[in-house]
Amino acid sequence: MKKFFRWGFPPLFGMMIYASIRLANDIQGGRQFWMRSWVLNSIEIASAILVSYPMVYVMDYFRRRNERCDTAPLTSRLIFREFGEVYLYTTLILNAVIIPMCALTDDGLQWQDVVYVNLLPPLFNVIYYAITRAMGSLRRNYEQQLQIQKISNDRLQTELRFLRAQFHPHFLFNALNTVYFQMEEDTARARQTVEKLSELLRYQLYDPQHLVPVERELRYLESFIDLQRQRMNDHLRLDVFFDPLLVRQMVYPLLLLPLVENAFKYAGGAYWINIRASLEKDAIRFEVSNAVPPEATLVGLGATANGAPRTGIGLDNLRRRLELLYPGRHEFRAAPEDTQFKATLVIPI
């Protein structure tokens, strides 16, 4: 394509200019192009093709030069100067080649020949230059937007990796704490816990920027719930419901876990946990609630002493990941209600 524009386009451009001059001249003089001598037509066509190469080269030269200077603010003075230079140099080339040719053909150089040469070809030149200049600007703007998008995506990936790196130690601390206490009571049970933990860690190897079926995410939660249940006493009332319609819908991995982990960590008072996942139109609704001691409702999990909301690292981490993965398309609430703490997450599918 570059070779065509370099060698094939100038003759076509020259022939278009020649045709416009010939048409204007023949209509005014009542002549017929095909009735003229083929020698004269050949000379004129050859001259048009000959002049097209330096003319296109000059316009491309000014375009490339001015594109390198686009960092300066664009003003009407700069535009006038830029197009004035193109008009001046291309018109000089035209007059240097076409005017002598006109003087040696037909009935010699006439005043209308000078008008046509200095009016029609410069008009085509300015149009060509304006189009190529605009296309170059659009291409550079598009490349800049791609670069900005690439930088933004790189920053997003970096932040997600950082959030994931924060998440792993948080998860491992709670899981290893469970294994630690089981080692003193039942080593066989601790061994099963380690096996369950290895399955959970294997799932966490999934790239957090790649979608997974929600069925796989819920199976992971079931394994995590089984692991946590082992470290809780028998008084815990646990109610888990996963909508059977949640199968192949795609979600980002490890978004639901922090809510479940938070519930097991802070469950107290009446000592119950409710976990529900349901399908609602084009979204997944995930609700986790747990009982907390009465004193925790104000100065514990959900609020500080003056009533301001407060959450742990896990929920803060989740909130930021949701902002990056579902910007403006998710709903997340986590706050104490009487003697319970309730978290609700709605994400599109």
Where do runs of H (alpha helix) occur along the chain?
A: 2-3, 9-29, 38-68, 76-104, 111-185, 187-203, 214-229, 257-266, 296-299, 313-325
What pLDDT was estimated at residue 107?
A: 65
DSSP string, 57-74: HHHHHHHHHHHHTTTSPP
What pLDDT was estimated at residue 75?
A: 77
What pLDDT was estimated at residue 141?
A: 82
Tokens 């003075």 correspond to what residue? 77
Residue pLDDT tens, the chain, 349 long: 666 667 788 888 888 888 887 777 766 655 666 566 677 778 878 888 888 888 889 898 888 888 877 666 667 888 888 888 888 988 888 888 888 877 777 666 677 778 778 888 888 898 999 998 888 888 888 887 877 677 666 666 666 565 555 555 656 776 777 777 777 777 777 787 788 778 777 777 655 567 889 999 999 899 888 888 877 777 889 999 999 999 999 998 888 988 998 888 888 888 899 999 999 988 999 999 999 887 655 444 444 444 444 556 778 888 888 888 898 899 999 988 888 999 999 999 8
CB 44 within 8 A of CB 18: yes
Mutual orientation of helices 76-104 and 111-185 as an angle, nearest 10°? 140
Tokens 């491309």 correspond to what residue? 60
What pLDDT was estimated at residue 45?
A: 82
What pLDDT was estimated at residue 11?
A: 85
CB 342 within 8 A of CB 289: yes
All structural domains of the chain with their residue ranges: 2-148, 186-348
Residues pairing with 272 in the sheet: 237
Tokens 């976990």 correspond to what residue? 275
Backbone φ, ψ for residue 238 (5° rounding): -115, 125
What pLDDT was estimated at residue 274?
A: 95
Q: Please tell me the distance from the alpha carbon of residue 251 to that of residue 193, in angstroms, as a whole number.
A: 27
Phi-psi map region of 254: left, alpha, beta (phi>0 left; psi -120 to 50 alpha): left
- CATH number for the region 186-348 comes to 3.30.565.10
